[in-house]
Amino acid sequence: MFFHKTPAIVRWFYPQLTWNMPKGSQDTIYLTFDDGPIPGLTNFILDTLDQFEAKATFFCVGENLKKNKKIAENVINRGHTLANHTFNHLNGWKTSHEKYLENVKLCQNELENLGQQKKILRPPYGKISRKQIASLIKDYQIVMWDVLSGDYSPKINPTDCLEQTVRVTKNGAIVLFHDNLKAEANVKYALPAFVRHFHELGYQFKTLCMD
Ligand SMILES: [Zn+2]
C-alpha cells in the first residue's frame, strides 16, 4: 500500500516536525524537490516553475551541491530556497548519532558557502531517530511532507503519479517530488500538469523560507 497522504498517526508521533504549513489567506502549495541538484532534470524543474512564477524548496544532497555548484547557484538566482538533505543521503536509522550530525553539518557548510543561512533539514527516506531529532531540532527546522508524489517509485506510472498527487493536495500542503534520475519520467510528466492545475485554480507556490 502506497500512502500519498501522510497518515495522521505518523504526524501525531512526531509533532515537533513540520508536516504542512499554516493556511494563509491565499491558497498556497509548498513544492519540495529532494536529492539534487543534478544536470538536466533540475533545470527542467526550474523552467517549469518559472512558467508559473512558482517558487520551491530544494532539499539538496551535499555531494551533489559540491559537484553541481553552477546549478545550485541557478536555483538560488531564480528565487528558490536550498535546504539540507545530509551530505551523503544517509539513513538516520542506520547511522551513528555522531556521524549523522556531522553529515548534516557538512551539507550545511556547502549551503552556507552558497549564501543560504536558514537551517532547514529533511532527513533522507524520512528516517531519523528520536535522539537525532532532539539534537538537531535546536538548530534546524525539520521538514517532512504532507503529500508524497511517489515519483521515484518504479511501481507508479506518470498518469497515476499526477492524479494521486492532485487528489490529496490541499491548501498548506508540503508536496514532495525528486530531482533524481529515478523519478525523471514521472516528474517530467506530472510536475508541469500539477503546477498548471493548481495555478489555474488560483493557488500560489512558495518556498518554506518565508523571510
Ligand atoms: Zn532523498
Q: What is the pLDDT of residues 102-135, one digit of tens each?
A: 999 999 999 999 999 999 999 999 999 999 999 9
* Cα 201 to middle of ligand 1, angstroms: 30
* Cα 145 to middle of ligand 1, angstroms: 12
* Cα 25 to middle of ligand 1, angstroms: 31
* Cα 181 to middle of ligand 1, angstroms: 12
Note whether 34 and 85 are within 8 A (CB). yes
* Cα 89 to middle of ligand 1, angstroms: 6
Strand (E) or helix (H) holding 142: strand 141-142
Q: What is the pLDDT of residues 145-173, one digit of tens each?
A: 999 999 999 999 999 999 999 999 999 99
Q: Measure the CA dihedral 79/125/140/49, to 10°.
A: 10
For domain 8-19+26-205, the CATH superfamily is: Glycoside hydrolase/deacetylase (3.20.20.370)
